[in-house]
Amino acid sequence: MDLISMLSDRIIAVNQALESALDIGEHDKLREAIRHIPMAGGKRLRPVLAMLTADSISECGDKVIPFGVSLELIHNFTLLHDDVMDKDSLRRGVETVHVLFDEATAINAGDVLFARAFETLSTTDVSDAVIRDLVREVAGAVRNIGEGQQLDKDFEQRTDITEEDYLKMIEYKTARLFQIASKGGAMIAQGTQEQVNAMSEYGKLLGMGFQIWDDFLDLKADESLLGKPVGSDIKNGKRTLMVVHALARLEGQERDTFFGVLGNQNASSDDVQGAIALMDKVGSTTYAEQMALGFAKRSKELLEILPESEHKEILKKITDYMVQREK
């Protein structure tokens, strides 16, 4: 049985709860805007990760669904705002909210998703003490995401970004939500402190690998699978691991050529492909690919704190999937 089949029941349950959570409000335009990207697709990795963690500890994955849906709402809120900031026109193969409606509606819809996330989180069937801990953890994660996003935007104007700078940025911007997904799942399942700590670190490492692989896919994926133009990170001037690695190694005319494309919204497809070829030449794409796989390997080692079960084996498979997927 393939991974998607193994996850299908959980994904269906998350989608049903997510659709219910989005069936709110009296303003038809705003309701359509908040539903547009969440219901256009998505892998539901964060809620599924939380459910699998809880099932691995005490077979209570269904109890985690409101918490998982709250993370999915937060994830989608960040996507709406990111698309405005990056001026992206496509997301999951459909027009972004700011293109379909307008920027003001996209920002407002993101704010509504953010608020709805905490409303949904509050319905999780756990003690008041655990709810307070979850709210604190999730709110802290959102604050870190904001810091990570600001670092990401700041980096676009800098040429001195180090690998350490990049890793800190993706830890905040991407990995924190995976970290709280697996940590929160362990908390709701009443895991031991050792299990909660291990699953927190597991989610962080997994999220780091996921983001590096996501950056890799922006250059190497099939555009029809990716759902957005290949190389958009280059045109947006994103300082990905591959860009940071390449800038430390390119010299002379090649470096000038690369800078001529990086952050150039008017760059042609041939220009972008030329920049990718330069990164290939100095080993930057291979370097990023291997680092993503390394993060996944380290995260899987942390799963050994969980008892043997089918759920634990699926967690291992989802770890591999997240850094080897095609889209």
Is residue 159 within 8 Å of residue 165, measured between CB atoms?
no
> Residue range 224-228: average pLDDT?
61
**Percent of the chain at pLDDT above 90?**
86
Could you identify the residue written with the tokens 């691991």? 241
Q: What is the pLDDT of residue 7?
A: 93
Using CA atoms, how far apart are residues 207 and 221, in angstroms rounded to an integer?
Answer: 19
Which comes out higher in pLDDT, residue 79 or 236? 79
Task: Report pTM.
Answer: 0.92
| One-letter identity of residue 45 | L
Q: Is the pLDDT of residue 228 over 70?
A: no
For residues 288 and 212, the answer to whether their CB atoms sit within 8 Å is: yes
Strands 90-91 and 94-95: antiparallel
Closest CA to 216 of 233, 235, 237: 233
Task: Determine the pLDDT at residue 157.
Answer: 85
Per-residue pLDDT at 226: 59
Give the number of C-alpha atoms closer than 13 A to the C-alpha of residue 233, restricted to the C-beta side.
21
* Domain extents in the chain: 3-210+302-322
Q: Report the CATH superfamily, name and number, of domain 3-210+302-322.
A: Farnesyl Diphosphate Synthase (1.10.600.10)
Residue with tokens 């001037």: 237
* Conformational region of residue 283, where left means phi above 0, alpha means psi within -120 to 50, and beta covers everything else: left
255 — pLDDT class (breaks 50, 70, 90): very high
